[in-house]
Structure 1
Amino acid sequence: MAERIDEKILDFINEVEKREAKKDICKGPVKIGERYYEFEEKDFFDEKLKIWIPNDFEEMSEEARKFKYPSENRPEIIKCNENGSIAITLNITDNLLDEAHVEEFKNLSKVIVKRMNPANVFFEDGVLEINNKNIGYFDYKSSAIDDFLYNFMFFLEFEGKALMGTFSCIHNECKEWRDVVFQIIRNIKENNKSKMS
């Protein structure tokens, strides 16, 4: 009996240590998989939106963009690692959106993604309230030419329109990245202050 209790206490301590090992992306290097990533807060859309991304992510090349996002309405911003296997995208859509309809927009987007490829496997969806903003999200597994991909899509109101973001990586790396993606989402900031000229 005492041994079983000791085992449970050890399991609990191990779990706490594992959780503490997951570092804060805003406070220094974070180990993801086999390497450390340094995150920094970057400005987008004329410094009106701030998002923490790995500091070595670069703008995806035009050639890679056309291959990875064959549709002409590909995302405006695509930041990726050196081989393009991990990417973060941001795009302001033409869809009007207000805070009250973020969940509805997220649900509709999920339906569209399902219809485009019924083989996608969906995991979780929800709406987070971050800095008085609603951010809708869902994640899913899709198949690529030679592997499976993990995709995390998020949506928020930005200047009256729907801003859509995605994170994608090879599916077998998603366990390492998922918590980090939630940290990225939780640290999104909108800079509403209009600049004085």
Structure 2
Amino acid sequence: MSFHDEQIQALLNQVEQAQKPKDIRSGPVLIGDESYEFVERAFFEDKLTMYLPATFEEMPVALQKIKYPYEQRPEIVLSNEPGTVNLTLNRVDQKLQDEWVQRLTSGMKAMLQKMQPANVFYGEQLEEVNGKSIGYFDFKSPALDEPVYHNLFYFELEGETVMGSFNCPYRQYADWRDIVVQVIRSIRTVQEEEEPSV
């Protein structure tokens, strides 16, 4: 194969990669070198659903204790098989209303910036998702072996606060960043769907 043929093949590969589905609800999605099938999963007595990789499993407690060494670990810790890509969900006994979500998100970001000035912060967003306000922000933090990419998100469920987090090695940040936003946008709470119409 000549150099010219190799260039054409590389270009064709790029086009093929760009055409692969990137919508988590429409079939397998290639993230890095791995194909993920996303399925709708339910949490908190089926009051919350969201699309997550079918292969994500509950992280073993022994591994949770290492990754989250403090006593107040998240209620739900899901991860890929090696435990390098994680999503957590935690209900907090703190009252929250939809209109307070923006303030909570900005306040949590400001607190983290103050406590951990080495973190590099990116965007902060407030979105209306299926009738619910969800605030989120993302950042890069230093770690012992390699930097970590995080996305923290907040919303109200039954009048209380739900805090979610996603993290992966920073080298995989470009592969996961848009996917995580899609996961956040797939959040649906049962309370909105079951409200009686007036």
TM over 0.5: yes
Query: After the TM superposition, which of the residue ranges 113-122 and 47-56 deviates more from structure 2?
Result: 113-122
State the alpha-carbon separation in 1 of the partners of residues 19 and 102 from structure 2. 32
Specify the alignment match of 2:9 in structure 1: none
- 3-state DSSP of counterpart to 1:47: coil
Is it true that 1:148 corresponds to 2:147 in the alignment?
yes
What displacement does 1:73 show?
Answer: 1.0
Runs of 4+ in structure 1 over 6 Å off? 15-18
Structure 2 counterparts to residues 1-197 of structure 1, below 5 A: 20-192=19-191, 193=194
Please state how far the C-alpha of 1:116 moved relative to its aligned partner. 2.7
The residue identity in structure 1 corresponding to 2:27 is G
Distance in 2 between residues matched to 1:129 and 1:91, nearest whole Å: 20
Task: Determine if contact 2:21/2:27 at 8 Å carries over to the other structure.
Answer: no
1:127 is paired with a residue of what secondary structure? Answer: strand
Structure 2 length as normaliser, TM-score?
Answer: 0.86
The runs of 5 or more residues in structure 2 that have no matched partner are 1-13
**Separation in 1, partners of 2:95, 2:106:** 15
CA distance in 1, matches of 2:124, 2:15: 26
Q: Residues 12-39 of structure 1, C-alpha deviation per residue, up to 9 Å, x if partnerless?
A: xxx9986653421111100000010011
Which consecutive residues of structure 1, in runs of 5 or more, have no partner in the other structure?
1-14
- Shift of the 186–120 alpha-carbon distance from structure 1 to 2, 3 Å rule, reads same
| Aligned-residue offset at 1:111 | 1.8
| Distance across 1 between alignment mates of 2:115 and 2:76 | 22
Matched-pair identity in %: 43
Supply the distance in 1 between the matched residues of 2:171 and 2:91 (Cα, whole angstroms): 29
In structure 2, C-alpha distance between the alignment counterparts of 1:182 and 1:18, rounded to whole Å = 20
